[in-house]
Amino acid sequence: MDFEPTETQQLVVRTAREFVERKLLPVAAELDRESRFPSEQLSQLAELGMMGVNIPASLGGSEAGAVAYSLAMMEVARGCASTAVTMAVTNMVGEVISFFGSDAQREQYVTKLTSGEYAAGAFALSEPGAGSDAAAMTTQARRTDDGWVLDGQKMWITSGGKCGVMVVWARTDTSSNRLGHKGISCFLVAQGTAGLKVEKKEDKLGLRASETVPLTFEDCHLPADALLGEEGQGFRIAMMALDGGRIGIASQAVGVATAALAEGIEYAKDRKQFRKPIADFQAIQWMIADSKTELEASRLLALRAAELKERGAPSFSREAATAKVFASEAAWRICDRMLQIHGGYGYVRDFAIERHLRDVRVARIYEGTSEVQRTVIARSLLRG
């Protein structure tokens, strides 16, 4: 066990940190306030290799590994959680196409994601009636003489209207309503495809600079080679992609909580009540100490899951869920405690802490709720 980052990992961290200090921290509050998609920042991140941290160099990625990706995500999320989630989904989409795609699909899409030619990638799994129960999806892909026709609705799609390409899950076998996950396949859909309609942007509590939209597919014709992986394998592809995605969200939560803790400490040292800095009170010190402890535990869990992924260890799925549930729940508590330290000032927009609290809340929901993570962990242990 080696806790020392490799040279490559250190380089990725330095690169991300410098970008965050210079380009992201100065604009994060404004992006949030204006609900402005961070196009410019995403394109700069692509130039720095952050849109394919764990993607082969032959496809324009940095090939720096899953641990480096987790470290990069922690840094970027410290600067702006909205930019971080957009980067996370883009990396996830790039990885899933690299892993399951044909040579032609990889060439067509992955290099455009890693280079920044596409602003982002999108992952269209959830539906109005299929969230935690992803296998309950009703979107259909009907085979035609020369391809497929998609019909249905997707919901909560990050960058759905901004992405260059999206991975879309649909039911290809409707012969029995008991087929569940077995009849699901996965497709690559380019932005602008006829029959794809991007619906009205969601007005969210947090992550306001990231775009979240519903999508409608109506008589949406796709070529035969839009199928990603094998027919009927879509659910497995989604689960495998989400295993990696959950490390990204755990890392995002760590990044936001890191920012929150630093701001809480700074405020506690500065703010005076009863003739001394509030940092002198044990009540405040314990909030800081508990937060630091939970933050470091979260960081280690995320990095361990990433290391297991990098090694191809089968337990990585469970450990990714462990990291995700712990880090997202801890980050929420940390942001809440740091807001408490700010008192009334934490409840207004003059300080960043209220944004962190709003931004981090969804980490307990998306890419699998905390309840789903617990299901994944328990099932894995009970299976033995």
Binding interface with ligand COS (CB under 6 A):
123, 125-126, 132, 134-135, 156, 181, 235-236, 239-240, 242-243, 317, 366-368, 372, 375-376
Q: β-pairing, 140-143 with 196-198?
A: unpaired
Query: One of 263, 319, 354, 367 is an active-site residue; which one?
Result: 367
Phi-psi label, residue 287: left if phi above 0, alpha if psi -120 to 50, beta otherwise: alpha
Q: How far is the CB of 72 from ligand COS (least distance, A)?
A: 20
- Rounded to a whole number of angstroms, the minimum distance from the CB of residue 123 to ligand COS is 6
Closest approach of Cβ 13 to ligand COS, in Å? 26
Q: Which residues contact 275 (CB under 8 A, 6 or more apart)?
A: none
Residues 276-294 as b/e (b if ≥16 CB within 10 A, e otherwise) read eebbeeeebeebbeebeeb
* Between 56 and 180, CB nearer to ligand COS: 180
Q: DSSP string of 213-276?
A: EEEEEEEEEEEGGGEESSTT-HHHHHHHHHHHHHHHHHHHHHHHHHHHHHHHHHHHHH-EETTE
Tokens 């996965």 belong to: 186
Tell me how far, at minimum, the Cβ of 22 lies from ligand COS, in Å: 31
Contact 264, 342 (CB under 8 A): yes
Query: Which is closer to ligand COS, CB of 63 or CB of 310?
Result: 310
Asked if 64 contacts 53 with a C-beta cutoff of 8 angstroms, the reply is yes
Closer of 11 and 135 to ligand COS (Cβ): 135
In this complex, which beta carbon is closest to ligand COS, that of residue 237 or of residue 301?
237
353: tokens are 């802490």
Write down the least CB distance from residue 279 to ligand COS, Å. Answer: 38
**Nearer of residues 188 and 240 to ligand COS, judged by Cβ:** 240
Amino acid at site 68: A
Rounded Cα distance between 368 and 99, Å, is 21
Q: How far is the CB of 176 from ligand COS (least distance, A)?
A: 15
Residue 232: CB minimum distance to ligand COS, A: 10
Residues sharing a CB contact under 8 Å with residue 360, sequence separation 6 or more, in sequence order: 81, 206, 253, 256, 257, 260, 328, 331, 332, 335
Per the annotation, the verdict on 367 as an active-site residue is: yes
CB closer to ligand COS, 317 vs 322: 317
The answer to whether 87 touches 59, Cβ cutoff 8 Å, is no
CB neighbours of residue 40 within 10 Å:
13
Strand-pairing partners, residue 273, are 276
Cβ nearer to ligand COS, comparing 93 with 242: 242
Nearest to 217 by CA among 170, 263, 264, 158: 170
Q: In terms of Cα–Cα distance, which of 119, 131, 217 is closest to 168? A: 217
Catalytic residue positions, numbered: 367
